[in-house]
Amino acid sequence: MSNETVSGDAFENLLREERKFAPSEAFAAAANVHADIYAEADSDRLAFWAKQARTHLTWSKDFTETLDWSDAPFAKWFVGGEVNAAYNALDRHVENGLGDRVAIHFEGEPGDTETITYADLTERVKRAANAFEALGVAKGDRVAVYLPMIPEAVVTMLACARIGAVHSVVFGGFSAEALRSRIDDAEAKLVVTADGTFRRGKPSALKPAVDEALAEDGHTVRHVVVVERNKQEVAWTDGRDLRWSEVMEAASPEHTAVGHDSEHPLFILYTSGTTGKPKGILHTTGGYLAQTAFTHSAVFDLKPETDVYWCTADIGWVTGHSYVTYAPLVNGATQVMYEGTPDSPHQGRWWEIVEKYKVSILYTAPTAIRTMMKWGSDIPAKYNLSSIRVLGSVGEPINPEAWMWYRDVIGGGQAPIVDTWWQTETGAIMVAPLPGVTATKPGSAQVPLPGIAVDVVDEAGQSVPDGHGGFLVIREPWPAMLRTIWGDPERFKDTYWSRFDGMYFAGDGAKKDDDGDIWLLGRVDDVMNVSGHRLSTTEIESALVSHPWVAEAAVVGAADETTGQAVVAFVILRGEADLPTGENAASEIVLTLRNHVGHEIGPIAKPRHILVVPELPKTRSGKIMRRLLKDVAEGRDPGDATTLADPSVMHKIAQDLRK
């Protein structure tokens, strides 16, 4: 990626984004961290992290060395220390007299609720720890977790952590086949699942997928513990399958947590890479907990006594691990956990929940924000959202229009937005504004957190000057970094540490603006090259979405003989938009949008084709599957669409295009 091409017309649009929103004086004064934290971290990075580790965690044995990087890129953080994740998330709060504080306000999809205090949750985790041990799960053993968003998911993860077992959570939307390959790769001894959950008011089964996954012999699973959630009929394998309620009832509520080595494996989480085989990202205990807890406190300005925090991520993804199960509980927060979809039974469900629990910190994904935008501002307007004081975004670049909508419509034009860049591999937030310090810019994650050495470099690994783009890298090890790919240390080195000497390569393109703020431009595999100009899919999507007619857009680079690649855009129109009507309406819409992109970015970025579609293909984690769209754009059969949240989407698009 040469500087000349990246700093061309294509990036002018984002760079012209000049709106800035400084924190109010009151917010800044009361914030958990202030501007001096950057200088403190800069003056001694390791001392800074050692301080965070000791401030946010209770160690059963103090560490003697902050970082051992002698076997790079295999890091050891807080060497010699011992710490128990579950003790930090639970027991110590109860010991500190906070047993009656609500840990989880659970809201089931059908409307059932449960209020779980720290004392309750501690007892449940102790029972589960005893129950798992009684089933032969020992320190270091792997446990596969295939559960919906219910409190038992958190209980299971923390019970594993308590006894030193390594959980591998598999998102409930993954197929039996995907579950089996993950069980096999990690050689899991135990599977914890549920009969099922609820989706849009109807029961949705989970246990049959586990049965199917384990149908063929040759696996390592001895027992399957089944939470009775939706009470649907399920097949039963005597001897192997056990009811959660019975197992927990039989277990003692007394269990003493012992410290585990700081580098003891905490969990494996599979994520997709550029190749077909998912990577088992391994996280360990001390560093992961220290950075997740610190970032949760600093980036969301969490006040555990008064805030009600809600992260909408599923525990099947890293955001659900770090910012539902671990950090909020380690920090003693009160959080909301919601089982269902945002539109069940109506499109105001999220806002109803915010009003009901007086949610003050909301952490969600741009795709959700854009969906809500599409549904219309009148829906959130029906609810009292005045409790909200901080808004977070994660998972993909957030386009300025969605950012402004989030701030104005959800945040009452007041709440700071923290756009947080990180990855399954980084374990915790790496780049984000600090809400009481940073003047935020719509669409930019802006600044590496204190103690984090993120940079943007060119092809040769040289830091690019402000105003230029390149590749996002991390120059120094960080506490919550992945330690390896489970069972494949070579792949770990190749994937992340071989592209640039001594640096972690994240796989994202990024740009520094004239202030040195960082703008994420999407995966480098999503960067297009049109007539020698590099264009970011994100950028064109952002331009399209800035048009009042467009609700959502996905852009791909389709192979083109003349220009290398051509820009092809798929757009969903807004239901409430004032669209042209009449005979030439369709071509008028396309022409208008092409010109709009030309106007926003420059003629080079004008999509060759704009296809109006009813829906976009998305993975179950909400990421647009550009690969499938590329197939359509290049006239190929999109092939395997089974990893989509809704596999029929591609069919709908193909049908629509034939019209």
Binding site for Mg(2+): what residues are annotated? 545, 547, 550
Nearer to ligand WTA, 1 or 131 (CB): 1
Query: Does 517 sit near ligand WTA (CB under 6 A)?
Result: no
* Signed CA dihedral, 169, 170, 176, 181: sign only: negative
Query: Hey, which residues between 319 and 358 contact ligand WTA (CB under 6 A)?
Result: 319
Shortest Cβ 167–ligand WTA spacing (Å): 17
Stretch of 62-70, 391-399, 488-496, 572-580 lying at the interface with ligand WTA (CB under 6 A): 391-399
Q: Which residue numbers belong to the known binding site? A: 199-202, 319, 395-397, 419-424, 508, 523, 531, 534, 545, 547, 550
Tokens 């409430």, residue located: 576
Nearer to ligand WTA, 199 or 620 (CB): 620
Q: What are phi and psi of 64, to 5 degrees?
A: -110, -20
Dist. CA 305–CA 24, nearest whole Å:
21
Member of 307, 508, 517, 600 binding ligand WTA (CB under 6 A): 508
Shortest Cβ 21–ligand WTA spacing (Å): 17
Nearer to ligand WTA, 170 or 191 (CB): 170
Helix (H) or strand (E) holding 123: helix 118-134
- By C-alpha distance, which of 96, 10, 168, 3 is closest to 531? 10
- Report the Cα–Cα distance between both ends of the chain, in Å, rounded: 39
Q: Are strands 518-523 and 504-512 parallel, antiparallel or unpaired?
A: antiparallel
Q: Is 266 within 8 Å of 288 (Cβ atoms)?
A: yes
Query: Does 423 sit near ligand WTA (CB under 6 A)?
Result: yes
Q: Are strands 166-169 and 142-146 parallel, antiparallel or unpaired?
A: parallel
Tokens encoding 216: 């063929």
Shortest Cβ 505–ligand WTA spacing (Å): 11
Nearer to ligand WTA, 261 or 419 (CB): 419
Query: Does 268 sit near ligand WTA (CB under 6 A)?
Result: no
Stretch of 34-42, 283-291, 315-323, 592-600 lying at the interface with ligand WTA (CB under 6 A): 315-323
Query: Does 421 sit near ligand WTA (CB under 6 A)?
Result: yes
Nearer to ligand WTA, 317 or 549 (CB): 317
Query: Hey, which residues between 518 and 547 contact ligand WTA (CB under 6 A)?
Result: 520, 523
Nearer to ligand WTA, 32 or 272 (CB): 272
Nearer to ligand WTA, 301 or 425 (CB): 425
Per-residue DSSP letters for 290-328? HHHHHHHHHHTT--TTT-EEEE---TTSHHHIIIIIIHH
Member of 188, 394, 589, 649 binding ligand WTA (CB under 6 A): 394
Q: Which residues pair with 394 in a beta bridge?
A: 420
Nearer to ligand WTA, 75 or 394 (CB): 394
Query: Does 312 sit near ligand WTA (CB under 6 A)?
Result: no
Nearer to ligand WTA, 262 or 399 (CB): 399
Query: Does 301 sit near ligand WTA (CB under 6 A)?
Result: no
Nearer to ligand WTA, 230 or 424 (CB): 424
Member of 364, 420, 446, 643 binding ligand WTA (CB under 6 A): 420
Shortest Cβ 455–ligand WTA spacing (Å): 15
Residues 6+ apart with CB under 8 A from 40: 48, 450
Tokens 């294509």, residue located: 10
Query: Does 507 sit near ligand WTA (CB under 6 A)?
Result: yes
Nearer to ligand WTA, 88 or 537 (CB): 537
Stretch of 123-131, 228-236, 394-402, 485-493 lying at the interface with ligand WTA (CB under 6 A): 394-402
Shortest Cβ 49–ligand WTA spacing (Å): 20
Q: Which residues pair with 566 in a beta bridge?
A: 558
Dist. CA 61–CA 83, nearest whole Å:
7
Shortest Cβ 318–ligand WTA spacing (Å): 5
Q: Is 262 within 8 Å of 287 (Cβ atoms)?
A: yes
Stretch of 194-202, 216-224, 420-428, 455-463 lying at the interface with ligand WTA (CB under 6 A): 420-428
Strands of the sheet containing 518-523, edge to edge, are: 454-457, 469-474, 504-512, 518-523
Per-residue DSSP letters for 256-292? ----EETTSEEEEEEE--SSSSPEEEEEESHHHHHHH
Q: At what angle do helices 537-545 and 585-600 cross, to 10 degrees?
A: 120
Q: Which residue numbers belong to the known binding site for ATP? A: 395-397, 419-424, 508, 523, 534
DSSP 8-state class, residue 22: P
Q: Would you give the binding string for ligand WTA spanning residues 217-256, x where CB under 6 A is met?
A: ----------------------------------------
For the chain, the farthest-separated pair of C-alpha atoms sits apart, in whole angstroms, at 75
Shortest Cβ 276–ligand WTA spacing (Å): 17
Q: Is 286 within 8 Å of 77 (Cβ atoms)?
A: yes
Q: Is 533 within 8 Å of 604 (Cβ atoms)?
A: yes
Query: Hey, which residues between 617 and 636 contact ligand WTA (CB under 6 A)?
Result: none
Member of 242, 293, 506, 540 binding ligand WTA (CB under 6 A): 506
Nearer to ligand WTA, 137 or 431 (CB): 431
H helix and E strand count, the chain: 23, 30
Tokens encoding 362: 């909301």
CA 478-483-487 angle, to 5 degrees, is 165
Member of 395, 416, 433, 451 binding ligand WTA (CB under 6 A): 395
Count of residues of this chain found to bind ligand WTA when the rule CB under 6 A is applied: 20
Residues 6+ apart with CB under 8 A from 276: none
Dist. CA 627–CA 613, nearest whole Å:
16
Residues making contact with ligand WTA (CB under 6 A): 271, 317-319, 394-397, 419-424, 445, 506-508, 520, 523
